[in-house]
Amino acid sequence: MHPTAVITGATKGLGRALAEIFASNGFDLCVCARTEADLQAMQADWSDLYPDVRLHTFQADLSKKSETMEFAAFVRATWPRLDVLINNAGIYIGGLVSEEREGTLETLLETNLYSAYHLTRALLPQMLPHRAGHIFNMCSIASFMAYPNGGSYSISKFALLGFSKVLREEMKPHGIKVTSIMPGAAWSDSWRGVTLPEERLMQAADVAKAVWGCYGLSPAAVVEELILRPQLGDL
């Protein structure tokens, strides 16, 4: 049986790069995204790119707890054991706390924090009996520093890092690793149309390679927190 990984928000950007690096290293995947057409396109690509691994797809909006739990049930029905969970799903809404639209904080917390919290809790039973596994939470530079126009997005990412720190402490005695990944600006759909030199932002593959490097350590070592930035610094 191949090792197994769950990746949320996996059809584009960082999520897609993460899915590709784990598939290229022999992992079967369960992935979700909000758009069914994107999942179907990814499935079509997989049959050509990675014919020896299985890709299981599930349409879900993880800002809704009910759909998060449906995805978790799908994963549990697919595999008895989970080796890697990457909580990558998230959205960005910029603005000022004093001016942003009513409900922005709730929207960002539901997508960027609650989805990771509920999915992790639902899938830990696939890891705990085996005393092994690795959970990656895709945080952000915005998880530890405030910046102009960060607003409630930064609040949600600070909260995700807090969740990750707590989970790390709880999972220490159970053999399960927890890593917080905090990338700066990397090319993804959110940067589409921006006229910047390609080298000004990181590539999504750079982040994926860093995650894979963290996963490849021996059971005796864990990267607790990893910060990645463009070589020329934050935008």
pLDDT mean across residues, the chain:
94
Over 70: is that where the pLDDT of 223 sits?
yes
Residue 227's beta-bridge partner residues?
Answer: 182
For residue 191, what pLDDT is reported? 62
Among candidate residues 50, 114, 117, 153, the one labeled active-site is 153
Phi, psi of 230 (to 5 degrees): -60, 145
CB 126 within 8 A of CB 76: yes
Q: Is the per-residue pLDDT at 174 higher than 90?
A: yes
Long-range contacts of 59-65 (CB under 8 A, 24+ apart): 59/32, 59/33, 59/34, 59/35, 60/32, 60/33, 60/34, 61/34, 62/8, 62/9, 62/32, 62/89, 62/111, 62/115, 62/119, 63/91, 63/107, 63/110, 63/111, 63/114, 63/115, 64/110, 65/114, 65/118
H runs (alpha helix) in the chain: 13-24, 36-49, 65-78, 104-109, 115-123, 151-171, 204-215
- Condensed to tens digits (0 to 9), the pLDDT of residues 13-24 reads 999 999 999 999
What pLDDT is attached to residue 196? 72
Give the pLDDT band of residue 93 (cuts 50, 70, 90). very high
**pLDDT band at residue 193 under the 50/70/90 scheme:** low
Residue owning tokens 């220490």: 172
Please tell me the total number of residues recorded for the chain in this structure.
235
Average pLDDT over residues 101-129: 97
The span from the CA of 138 to the CA of 89, in Å, is: 8
114 carries an active-site annotation: no
Q: Quote the pTM value.
A: 0.95
Residue 80 pLDDT level (bands cut at 50, 70, 90): very high
Average pLDDT over residues 122-128: 98
Domain 4-228 has CATH 3.40.50.300: no
Pairing of strands 177-183, 4-8: unpaired
Give pLDDT, residue 192: 64
In which band, very low, low, confident or very high, does the pLDDT at 189 lie, cut at 50, 70 and 90?
Answer: low
Domain boundaries, the chain: 4-228
- 84-87/55-59 β-pairing: unpaired
